[in-house]
Amino acid sequence: MYTPPFFKQDRAASLKFAEERGFGTMCAFDGHKPVASPLPFYLTYAADGTPQVAFHVARHNPLLKLADGATSWLLAVNGPDAYVSPDWYVSPDQVPTWLYQSVHLSGPVRILSDDQLAVQIDTVSDKFESWLLPKTPWTSAKMTAGRLEALKKGIVGLVMTVEEVEGSFKLNQHKSDADYTAIANALGAQPAADAREIAQLMQDVRPEAFANETNMLERSAP
């Protein structure tokens, strides 16, 4: 992934972002064209600390026949994104752009055993059910054994051994404080949830710029 130095994220921050999102697009190449599927996942780690992406796909998904344990796949994990109008800058002669968060994880993918799939199903459901607390979490134990086993026959568990981690968080970090705060304030006033989330991320990344803005406003008040 092309990432200018201003926007590049370190390995730890990129993995943390991917784990917190838990949803992305898994991509592979079948020799003729790209093959991709959007899917949920969770991260785990091998004994040596190597990150692993655990996920499953439908048994008839064309990705499955490409899981040879050697060929590298790519998982694209995206966060919020928002369009930026040049009219929002303080400085003149700006151009339209787009702000976003994106992480790419890549590495070979292998098929899991049925026993490993059972563990994966419980782990991934535990992860996302925890987001709904204080709701009592759903567990596979709530299903009749026969029904659960029948459904499991329709999916296959997979795991990616992550060999490369790339992160790009384009939040206008290279702009002046005046332009940076102007864009964040404009995005924060937009109706789209993604725009407001990007605005909050910008404030989190450079809080001192907004503190300076507040101080300037206070000094200019009559």
What percentage of the chain carries pLDDT values higher than 70?
Answer: 95
- pLDDT attached to residue 222: 56
d(CA 190, CA 213): 20
Considering the domain architecture, whether residues 34 and 112 belong to the same structural domain is answered as: yes
152: number of Cβ within 10 Å? 17
Q: Angle at CA 103, nearest 5°, toward 100 and 107? A: 160
**Residues 165 and 178 both lie in one domain:** no
Half-sphere exposure of 122 (CA within 13 A, CB side): 10
Q: Report the pLDDT averaged over residues 30-46.
A: 96
What is the number of structural domains in the chain? 2
Closest alpha carbon to 186 in 47, 85, 70, 116:
85
Q: Are residues 180 and 70 in the same domain?
A: no
**What angle is formed at CA 47 by the lines to CA 41 and CA 49, rounded to 5 degrees?**
65
Write the pLDDT tens digit of every residue in 92-141: 999 999 999 999 999 999 999 999 999 999 999 999 999 999 999 999 99
**pLDDT of 166 above 90:** yes
Q: Taking 80 as the threshold, does the pLDDT of residue 212 lie above it?
A: no
Nearest 5 degrees, angle CA 209-CA 215-CA 221?
A: 135
- Render pLDDT for 55-80 as a digit per residue (tens, 0 to 9): 999 999 999 999 999 999 999 999 99
Residues 117 and 209 in one domain: no
Query: What is the mean pLDDT of the segment spanning 196-209?
Result: 95
Same domain, 83 and 192: no
Tokens found for residue 187: 């995005």
What pTM does this model have?
0.90
What local confidence, expressed as pLDDT, does residue 219 receive?
46
- How far apart are alpha carbons 166 and 147 in whole angstroms? 40
160 and 83 in a common domain: yes
Nearest Cα neighbor of 212 from 182, 177, 185 is: 177
Do 38 and 115 belong to one domain?
Answer: yes
Q: Is 101 helix (H, G, I), strand (E, B) or coil?
A: strand
Mean pLDDT of 151-163: 96
**Number of H-type helices and E-type strands within the chain:** 6, 8
Residue 217 has pLDDT above 80, yes or no: no
Task: Report whether pLDDT(215) > 60.
Answer: no
Domain CATH for 33 = 2.30.110.10
Please name which of 191, 190, 172, 163 lies closest in space to residue 73, comparing C-alpha atoms.
163
Residue 85 main-chain phi, psi, to 5 deg: -85, 140
Q: Looking at the structure, do residues 14 and 105 belong to the same domain, yes or no? A: yes
Question: What digits encode the pLDDT tens for the residues 176-200?
Answer: 999 999 999 999 999 999 999 999 9
The confidence score (pLDDT) of residue 154 equals: 95
Are 146 and 218 part of one and the same domain? no
Q: Read off the pLDDT band of 48 (50, 70, 90).
A: very high
CA angle 173, 176, 181 (to 5 degrees): 80
* pLDDT reported for residue 220: 52
- Domain that includes residue 83, residue range: 5-170
